[in-house]
């Protein structure tokens, strides 16, 4: 893929998802690494290709994991300012936060980073946050979800547009492979930083990248493309199932004051794929943050099938089954 093809591919991804209209304000999350350096330069190229203006800002978080990270922030600042773009940075002790919360450094870094980016984008009135996930990252994400046993939702991978945060998160490079980004950087003579922790296979994502995917490529050299196609197919199927579930929900479920009531008999008549989605939709009415685990789904399925009288609690939610009536509501 040459530079022109790459620009057209990114432009097509954005247009297909109706993203970044004229005068959009875009905050680019940048680490100084090859992917994110390619991202904000490609956005400048796409804007020129469209003959439109975007206001692009570049934001970097120093996770304070490596000694050289402070110098990399200054290095990036010089390059961003030379392009006359707005530059934002913050330093946060992610390892300390990780230990305090008893979560992995990867999870801590992601949570803090997206929280900061969202707050910054809102304060500076950006319309979008752009991140540099590409096709290889998509494959790694799908495999990570598969290993964790996350079900069909995980097999969808990442989407080009995500509304998980207050500011929409956009991934313009999901149709682009890493090798194309590296070739672009080389042809445009764009320098970048190299993060040595990306080679540390103690981190799960790196182990997938450096150990598992190369082994899979020995079996199928096009495995990254195959995983991306599977992700797209699963997403289409999931959208259809969700539409079906919404129609059944509107027919079967009574919603009143943040509680749901359903007939056990009528719920039992639904295919298991719809039952699982209906349960998730019911608990989301009561608590929109709760995601049911496989163990929870097994318990709920047992209630539907056995017809026994039972009451149990999931987090702050109570599920009460009496005769033919199941009620889902919140603790007071």
What are the residues whose beta carbons fall under 8 Å from the beta carbon of 15, sequence distance 6 or more?
none
In the block, which residue shows the tokens 């010089």? Answer: 78
Helices 34-50 and 3-16, axial angle in degrees (round to 10): 80
Rg (CA), the chain: 23
Name the CATH architecture for the domain at 3-230: 3-Layer(aba) Sandwich (3.40)
**Strands 55-62 and 25-29, sheet pairing:** parallel
The interaxial angle of helices 272-286 and 223-252, nearest 10 deg, is: 70
- Measured CA distances, 204 to 35, 142, 200, 214 (Å): 19, 13, 9, 15
Please choose, from the candidates 57, 55, 45, 60, the residue with its C-alpha nearest in 3D space to the C-alpha of residue 21. 55
Long-range contacts of 276-281 (CB under 8 A, 24+ apart): 277/241, 277/242, 277/245, 278/245, 278/248, 278/249, 278/252, 278/253, 281/245, 281/246, 281/249, 281/253
Pick out the residues of the known binding site for ATP: 31-36
Q: Which segments are annotated as binding site? A: 31-36
DSSP assigned state of 10: H
Delimiting residues of CATH 3.30.465.60 domain(s) in the chain: 257-330
Contacts of 226 (CB under 8 A, 6+ apart): 220
d(CA 163, CA 175): 19
Print pLDDT tens along the chain (332 aa). 799 999 999 999 999 999 999 999 999 999 999 999 999 999 999 999 999 999 999 999 999 988 899 999 999 999 999 999 999 999 999 999 898 888 888 889 999 999 999 999 999 999 999 999 999 999 999 999 999 887 788 898 899 999 989 999 999 999 999 999 999 999 999 999 988 878 888 888 889 999 999 999 999 999 999 999 999 999 999 999 999 999 999 999 999 888 999 999 999 999 999 999 999 999 999 988 888 888 889 889 988 988 788 888 888 899 999 989 999 998 76
Tell me: domain 257-330, CATH 3.30.465.60, correct? yes
Which residue spans of the chain are classified as CATH 3.40.50.620?
3-230
Confidence at residue 270, expressed as pLDDT on a 0 to 100 scale: 95
Across the chain, which distance is largest between two alpha carbons, in Å? 71
**Alpha-carbon span 188 to 71, nearest angstrom:** 23
């Amino acid at each position: 893929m040459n530079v022109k093809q790459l620009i057209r591919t990114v432009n097509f991804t954005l247009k297909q998802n109706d993203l970044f209209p004229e005068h959009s304000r875009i905050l680019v999350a940048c680490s100084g690494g090859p992917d994110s350096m390619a991202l904000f330069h490609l956005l400048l190229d796409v804007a020129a290709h469209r003959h439109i203006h975007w206001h692009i800002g570049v934001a970097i978080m120093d996770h304070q994991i490596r000694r050289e990270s402070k110098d990399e922030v200054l290095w990036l600042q010089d390059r961003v300012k030379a392009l006359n773009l707005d530059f934002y940075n913050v330093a946060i002790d992610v390892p300390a936060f990780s230990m305090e919360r008893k979560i992995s450094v990867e999870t801590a870094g992601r949570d803090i980073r997206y929280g900061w980016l969202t707050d910054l984008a809102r304060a500076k009135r950006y319309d979008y946050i752009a991140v540099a996930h590409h096709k290889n990252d998509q494959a790694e994400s799908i495999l990570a979800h598969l290993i964790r046993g996350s079900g069909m939702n995980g097999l969808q991978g990442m989407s080009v547009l995500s509304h998980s945060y207050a500011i929409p998160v956009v991934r313009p490079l999901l149709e682009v492979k890493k090798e194309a980004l590296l070739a672009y950087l080389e042809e445009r003579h764009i320098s970048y930083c190299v993060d040595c922790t990306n080679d540390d296979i103690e981190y799960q994502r790196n182990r997938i990248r450096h150990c598992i995917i190369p082994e899979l490529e020995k079996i199928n050299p096009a495995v990254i493309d195959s995983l991306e196609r599977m992700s797209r197919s699963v997403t289409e199927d999931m959208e259809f199932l969700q539409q079906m579930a919404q129609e059944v929900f509107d027919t079967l479920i009574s919603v009143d004051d943040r509680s749901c009531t359903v007939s056990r008999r009528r719920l039992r008549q639904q295919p298991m794929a719809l039952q699982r989605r209906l349960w998730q939709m019911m608990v989301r009415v009561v608590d929109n943050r709760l995601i049911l685990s496989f163990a929870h789904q097994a318990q709920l399925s047992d209630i539907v099938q056995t017809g026994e009288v039972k009451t149990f609690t999931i987090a702050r939610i109570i599920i009460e089954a009496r005769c033919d009536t199941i009620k889902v509501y919140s603790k007071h």
